[in-house]
Amino acid sequence: MKRSHGLRMPAVAAMSAAALAVAACSTSGSSASSAPSAAASSSVALTASAPGITATTITVGSHQPLTGPAAPGYSEIAPASAAYFAYVNAHGGVYGRKVMYKYLDDAYNPATTASVVRQLVLQDNVYALFNGLGTPTHLAAVSFLNSQKVPDVFVASGCDCWNQPSTYPETFGYQLDYIREGKILGHYVATHFAGQKIAYFYQDDEFGMDGVKGLDAEIPHSMVVSRQTYVPTNVNIGPQVAALRASGAQEVVAFSIPAFTALLKLYGLKVGYNPTLVVSNVGTDPITLSGLLETYAKQGGATVNGNQLTAGVITDGYLPTLGNTSNSWIALFKKVHDQYDAKAPFDGNVVYGEAVAYAFVQAMLKAGKNPTRAALVSAINSGLPQGPLVAPYAYGSANHAGATGAYIGVIKNGLIVQEGSVLTTDTSPSGLVTTSTATLQQAPASGVPAP
Amino acid sequence: MVEFLQFTLSGISFGMIYAAIALSLVLIWRGTRLLNFAQGGMAMFTTYIALEVIRHTGSYWAGFVVALAAGIVLGTVAELAVIRPSLGRPELNSVIITIGLLILLEGLAGIFYGGQYRSFPAAFSVTGLRAGSTPLGVSRFDVFVAASVLVTTLLLAVGFRYTSAGLRMRAAAFNATVARLSGIRVARVITVGWALAGLLGALAGVLVSPSTFLCPNSMDAIFVFGFTAAVIGGLDSPAGAVIGGLLLGVALSYAGGYLGSDVTALVAFGILVVVLMFRPAGIFSGARVRRV
Amino acid sequence: MTMRSLPRVLGAALATAVVVAILSVKLNAFQDYQIAEIAVEVTAVAGLTVLTGLSGQISLGNGAFMAIGAYTTALVLLHLGWPFIAVLVVAAAVTAVAGAIVGVAAARLHGPYLAGATLMLGVALPSLAYIYPGVFGGDQGLNVVFTTPGFLGVNFPPTRWQAWVSSAVALVTLVLLANLGRSRVGRNWRAVRDDEVAAALAGVNVARARILAFVVSATCAGMAGALLAIITGLVAPGAFTITLSIALLTAAVIGGLGTLPGAVWGSLVIVLVPTYATDVATSHGLSTAVASNIPVAAYGVVLILVMLIFPQGIQGGVRWLLGLLGIPAARTWHPASMSEAGSPAGGAPASQHEALLTQRGDPPEPHKKEGTQ
């Protein structure tokens, strides 16, 4: 059998050359740390006060699903945060330091997360881990981060497991957790749809199950006539929708991601089932939803657009809604987006990404001019200003949960419109859902938080 | 009862998609004795191309036709550039090459089109049809899906049986040496087989993407079930591919409806095990055991 | 055959252990973790390369065996708190039993049908974690705590200890597999792989040989799963997708199917290439969607190119290089063809290549597939 010797030598030579080139260009290795520069304009000299902090930069890392099945939607968040950091860097930075954001892809695989987080901490020497995304993925990182005493701030997941100050003192949540959200949505359903038949449709993991825990704390069990689950790997939810229809439920409360919220609507069309939908804010970014449903609307033949299919969906929100163009935060975030992240659509994921970056800048400003890692943790433990959230953070040394409240909204014309006031609650089954007394904050004129 | 009907009809709809993928795998297997792991990825890529055409021309059917044409081209190019050089080498190498091709296509799709979900239009209305006042759980589009796959399968079957080109393909698959001696250009026949498989995959892609939304990984699960359907039916049998696909689609629909969404993979595995226990080479395999 | 004798195998293993120990001190803590990751893959890929290369059975489901080993480890540590050595043995034993069950079920399957069945196993098994969330922790999985022993001192980097433990297990596995390959068991496997009927005539219990191969392969994967559990700290279904099983087979073939050095080369590729590619891509300021997908596309290209340029895998290339210098090296084995991988002789119709040599229905030629092409 003749061998292809002819190709062998040139190929080996080429690959060796390529490998050398790659090694030369590669940025792996210990992180660069510039020599401490002369004092900044303020009276205090900036020093390399902690790993990841130099006189001119702050380096934070994150793990995000940039490729793979979880990428749709979530992969927009980190670029949006990076955009806000770029804006801050262009406007004086944090006490003159620029924020460098290095986020690595873990494809939503916990084993990969464990690896990239170690790379960020042990090799790239990041100051903190910021906005690590995903519950099973971040669970693979949280023990390591805490044992290494690396601040693990503003985890991008609604699990209430990040609120364990005694076990995980370095870890802080950010968004409204799913139990609280379930209670707020459940409270609305129990008061507005009393006596009707309700069904649940939820993702078969802690996102859905925690949401249902919250719902069950508020909705009387006798009202719930059907509970259907789905797994993200199986898009054929026809059987579940048929079962929902057969149950006769007039409202369906869904803890589903946008694709499956859209599929719920789609299969509803197929089986002639059109209940009122009450959906977690995770699954109701109106831009994403309308985009997914747009093409079906056209199939109606008439001049129907995607917005008509999303009209009337009830949801919640803990950040200002996109439709609220007069809101100072939306104006700020849109300005930043248009300047630094223009290729992405301006949707809920972008607002989220920028808002959590804003929270980080607030925390860094509070941590002081030459912060240690512990200083960042203490800064958050002593509480953060409310920022763009509609209800205050819960942060304190005994509580590492983030958002505590949300408003109910209804989708009209492709945008979420707030209905009623902001509601807050806790994560216990018996805690009440009450109206929040907090006032909404305005965005700073400069767009950068005040120190 | 209505539920059962709805489960059955929606199961047939997905089953037809699995059948199309299974059929394309069978075509490639018969021609080159290879498992083409890139089949789903190729379908995904041609669907993206169709989406771009639809966006620019506003016409669904233009996109549909371009997708099918792109499938033919992609299948041909893959065979000539990537598979042909590896024939005659250990065959697992070719399998790894198709895996490499799959990964490459997913990466390219992410680079060119981004990783977000894109919604792909359906050819016809997706509103459910009704028998009287009972919703059947299928739409006009689902009927179109089933019809397209059936028509394509029939065309292929007729083509194989009654045209001389089809005869050449069957001869080359049956015994390449004798086919060569009869003057058949076996290499060209293999390329045609890959082109047809590409066409079938592209068809499956545009038919299923309205229900799955399009993203670089959206065809992965479809491929797995299509492959399972091909194995159930027997990799040498086109009829087996279609029947395997329908069987699997309907069974998974019942499983999802009556047992819950988390057991569907286990049910598929169970069916596979049961079938292979009695027919180790699929339902429609010829008896080919040699015992001494 | 160019199989090495036991002293040479042990010598090579010892030398490798010394090299790894030195590297683990010289390299930084994250690179120690990568050594551990590579060792995990080597353990699993070595078992798979023996299964597919020596005994001719394709498995696309070894990720499922890794999952079994990992979950066993997590559960034993959680409920019984035994030392790691004991846990490793339990994980190996449980996975061996699973391998036996799968081996028995798969005994009559060949080629693509075996591939399809194992593929579906790899897809379906992790869903048990969702069906029994109380036991397996559901989507969030189970935590695993693995501490550095006290005698090393407080400042000993945990990742270095992980690298040592994983490398030790990997090296022991390689030595045992090398031994097995040289023994009668290995000869039986190769006989069954090349021609089942002839092997049966020669007195080999074909079914038992095939099942044993599955047991061995599964055990290796189970131990790899146990190692993965302790270095990662979490056992969740998201880590055991079908991508893992496919990566294992890819590593086995890329490295050089049927050779143990090949298992090492393949593992190096699947662990290091994505990291390198990511570093290069992100240093060029491209948009996130492009920068994050370039490593994906590049990895696909690497797979295709390596297979086209080095049909015998990297070990084939190494062997060729060493051959230029006059040094013998391990030879790549391949199943005759996928359609005939372990099939009864004269079974499934031949490939186009086969067609040049044999005809369907005729008695098979003595196989020319032995080793190199």
**Segment of A110-119, A426-435, C51-60 carrying the highest mean pLDDT:** A110-119
CB-based contact B212 A235, cutoff 8 Å: yes
Rounded to an integer, the average pLDDT of A236-253 is 91
Cα A11–Cα A12–Cα A15 angle in degrees, nearest 5: 85
Statement: residue A5 has pLDDT above 50 = no
The total domain count for chain C is: 1
Enumerate residues 6+ apart whose C-beta is below 8 A from C93. none
Rounded to an integer, the average pLDDT of B89-111 is 90
CB atoms under 10 Å from CB of C132, counted, come to 12
Confidence of residue B245 (pLDDT cuts 50, 70, 90): very high
User: Could you read off the pLDDT of A55-91 as tens digits, one per residue?
Assistant: 999 999 999 999 988 888 899 999 999 999 999 999 9
pLDDT at A95: 93
* Whole-prediction pTM: 0.89
Q: Which of A72, A246, A301 sits opposite B115 (nearest CB)?
A: A72
Give the residue on A whose Cα is nearest the Cα of B215: A72
Range of the domain at B147: 12-123+132-218
Residue A451 token pair: 């120190």
**A positions 266-325 inside 8 Å of C (CB):** none
- Asked whether the beta carbons of A225 and A247 are under 8 A apart, the reply is yes
CB-based contact A69 B210, cutoff 8 Å: no
Range of the domain at C101: 6-357
Would strands A128-130 and A224-230 be described as parallel, antiparallel, or unpaired? unpaired
Residue B143 with chain A: CB contacts under 8 Å: none
Question: Please, where are the H alpha helices in chain C?
Answer: 6-26, 29-49, 62-79, 84-106, 111-124, 128-131, 133-136, 158-182, 184-194, 196-201, 206-232, 242-256, 260-282, 288-309, 313-325, 352-357
Give the residue on C whose Cα is nearest the Cα of B278: C108
What is the DSSP secondary structure assignment for residue C249, as one 8-state letter?
A: H
Cα B243–Cα B249–Cα B251 angle in degrees, nearest 5: 100
Cα C103–Cα C107–Cα C111 angle in degrees, nearest 5: 105
Q: Answer whether residue A439 is part of any domain.
A: no
Number of B–C residue contacts, CB under 8 Å: 212
The total domain count for chain B is: 1
How would you label A387-403 residue by residue, b for 16+ Cβ within 10 Å and e otherwise?
Answer: bbbbbbbbbeeebbbbb
Distance between CA atoms of residues A257 and A279, nearest Å: 9
One domain, residues A213 and A295? yes
- Name the burial class of residue A104, with classes exposed (0-12), middle (13-18) and buried (19+) by CB atoms within 10 angstroms of its CB: buried
Range of the domain at A265: 179-317
**List of chains touching B (3+ CB pairs within 8 A):** A, C
Residue A72 with chain C: CB contacts under 8 Å: none
Q: Answer whether residue C1 is part of any domain.
A: no
Q: Answer whether residue C232 is part of any domain.
A: yes
Would strands A415-424 and A405-412 be described as parallel, antiparallel, or unpaired? antiparallel
How would you label C65-91 residue by residue, b for 16+ Cβ within 10 Å and e otherwise?
Answer: bbbbbbbbbbbbbeeeeeebeebbebb
Give the minimum alpha-carbon distance from C370 to chain B in angstroms, rounded to a whole number.
11
Would strands A276-279 and A224-230 be described as parallel, antiparallel, or unpaired? unpaired
User: Could you read off the pLDDT of A294-330 as tens digits, one per residue?
Assistant: 777 665 444 456 677 888 999 999 999 988 888 999 9
Distance between CA atoms of residues C351 and B168, nearest Å: 16
- Asked whether the beta carbons of B109 and B217 are under 8 A apart, the reply is no
End-to-end CA distance of chain B: 52
Give the residue on A whose Cα is nearest the Cα of C67: A111
CATH number at residue C80: 1.10.3470
CB-based contact A204 C130, cutoff 8 Å: yes
Give the minimum alpha-carbon distance from A295 to chain B in angstroms, rounded to a whole number.
5
Residue C293 token pair: 């997908």
pLDDT at A42: 53
Give the minimum alpha-carbon distance from C27 to chain B in angstroms, rounded to a whole number.
31
Distance between CA atoms of residues B113 and C198, nearest Å: 54
- Hey, what amino acid is at C208? R
pLDDT at B58: 85
Which helix (H) or strand (E) is A362 found in, with range? helix A348-367
Residue of B6, B44, B61, B214 to mutate for A, most A C-beta atoms under 10 A: B6
| SS3 category, B91 | helix
Kindly state whether A199 is in contact with chain C, defined as any CB-CB distance less than 8 angstroms: no
Question: Which candidate, A172, A412, A156, A207, places its Cα nearest to that of A290?
Answer: A412
**A positions 74-93 inside 8 Å of C (CB):** 75, 78-79
- Token pair 């370095």 is found at A170
Which domain-ending residue is among A317, A345, A362?
A317
Percent of chain A past pLDDT 70, that is, above it, reads 88
The residue ranking higher by pLDDT, A45 or C32, is: C32
Distance between CA atoms of residues A407 and A400, nearest Å: 21
Residue A255 token pair: 């803890």
The answer, yes or no, to whether ipTM is higher than 0.85 is yes
Distance between CA atoms of residues C112 and C348, nearest Å: 10
Residue C143 with chain A: CB contacts under 8 Å: 139, 143
What is the DSSP secondary structure assignment for residue B35, as one 8-state letter?
A: -
What are the φ/ψ torsions at residue A386 (nearest 5 degrees)? -65, -35
Rounded to an integer, the average pLDDT of B42-70 is 94
- Asked whether the beta carbons of A251 and A227 are under 8 A apart, the reply is no
| SS3 category, A109 | coil
Q: Answer whether residue C365 is part of any domain.
A: no
Question: Which candidate, A368, A422, A402, places its Cα nearest to that of A95?
Answer: A368
Enumerate residues 6+ apart whose C-beta is below 8 A from B52. B113
pLDDT at C354: 40
Enumerate residues 6+ apart whose C-beta is below 8 A from C203. none
Distance between CA atoms of residues C48 and C248, nearest Å: 7
CB-based contact C115 B35, cutoff 8 Å: yes
Rounded to an integer, the average pLDDT of B99-119 is 92
Which domain-ending residue is among A317, A335, A370?
A317
Residue C257 with chain B: CB contacts under 8 Å: 90, 92
Residue of A299, A346, A347, A349 to mutate for B, most B C-beta atoms under 10 A: A299
How would you label C178-192 residue by residue, b for 16+ Cβ within 10 Å and e otherwise?
Answer: bebbbeebbbbbbbb
Residue C279 with chain A: CB contacts under 8 Å: 26-28
Distance between CA atoms of residues B129 and C96, nearest Å: 52
- Asked whether the beta carbons of A96 and A40 are under 8 A apart, the reply is yes
pLDDT at C278: 83
pLDDT at A39: 42
CB-based contact B292 C109, cutoff 8 Å: no
* Radius of gyration, alpha carbons of chain A: 24
Mean of per-residue pLDDT scores for chain A: 87
Residues with pLDDT less than 70, chain C: 1-4, 285, 333-373
Residue A388 token pair: 């763009």
Give the residue on C whose Cα is nearest the Cα of B96: C250
User: Could you read off the pLDDT of A395-419 as tens digits, one per residue?
Assistant: 999 999 999 999 999 999 888 999 9
pLDDT at B281: 86
CB atoms under 10 Å from CB of B42, counted, come to 28
Residue A70 with chain C: CB contacts under 8 Å: none
User: Could you read off the pLDDT of A260-286 as tens digits, one per residue?
Assistant: 999 999 888 888 899 999 999 999 998
Give the minimum alpha-carbon distance from B21 to chain C in angstroms, rounded to a whole number.
14
pLDDT at B68: 95
What is the DSSP secondary structure assignment for residue C155, as one 8-state letter?
A: T
Give the residue on C whose Cα is nearest the Cα of A135: C140
What is the DSSP secondary structure assignment for residue A405, as one 8-state letter?
A: E
One domain, residues A259 and A302? yes
Q: Answer whether residue C43 is part of any domain.
A: yes
Statement: residue A333 has pLDDT above 90 = yes
Q: Answer whether residue C366 is part of any domain.
A: no
- Token pair 């930069």 is found at A57
The total domain count for chain A is: 2
Angstrom distances, CA of residue A344 to CA of A112, A324, C114, C182: 26, 19, 44, 59
A96 bridge partner residues: none
pLDDT at B176: 78
One domain, residues A257 and A191? yes
CB-based contact B257 A234, cutoff 8 Å: no
Statement: residue A31 has pLDDT above 60 = no
Q: Answer whether residue B238 is part of any domain.
A: no
CB atoms under 10 Å from CB of A436, counted, come to 18
Question: Which candidate, A129, A54, A62, places its Cα nearest to that of A98?
Answer: A54
Residue of C227, C243, C288 to mutate for A, most A C-beta atoms under 10 A: C288
Would strands B134-139 and A57-64 be described as parallel, antiparallel, or unpaired? unpaired
Chain-centroid distance of CA A341 in Å reads 17
pLDDT at C111: 86
* Radius of gyration, alpha carbons of chain C: 21
Q: Which of B32, B111, B173 sits opposite C290 (nearest CB)?
A: B111
Would strands A128-130 and A276-279 be described as parallel, antiparallel, or unpaired? unpaired
Distance between CA atoms of residues C125 and C61, nearest Å: 9
| SS3 category, A204 | coil
**Segment of B4-13, B117-126, C230-239 carrying the highest mean pLDDT:** C230-239
A58 bridge partner residues: A53, A99
**C positions 231-260 inside 8 Å of A (CB):** 231-234, 236-239, 241, 243
CATH number at residue A338: 3.40.50.2300
| SS3 category, B222 | helix
- Hey, what amino acid is at A393? Y
pLDDT at A299: 58
pLDDT at A298: 63
Give the minimum alpha-carbon distance from A353 to chain B in angstroms, rounded to a whole number.
16
Q: Answer whether residue B117 is part of any domain.
A: yes
Residue A305 token pair: 């657009």
> Which of B130-144, B247-261, C68-82 shows the lowest mean pLDDT across its residues?
B130-144
Distance between CA atoms of residues A49 and A418, nearest Å: 44
pLDDT at B71: 96
Residue B143 token pair: 């009927």
Residue of C27, C228, C279, C353 to mutate for A, most A C-beta atoms under 10 A: C279
Kindly state whether C280 is in contact with chain B, defined as any CB-CB distance less than 8 angstroms: no
Distance between CA atoms of residues C222 and C43, nearest Å: 9
- Hey, what amino acid is at B163? T
- Asked whether the beta carbons of A128 and A365 are under 8 A apart, the reply is no
Statement: residue A35 has pLDDT above 60 = no
Residue C12 token pair: 């090579």
Statement: residue B286 has pLDDT above 80 = no
- Hey, what amino acid is at B267? V
Residue B127 with chain A: CB contacts under 8 Å: 269-270, 299-300
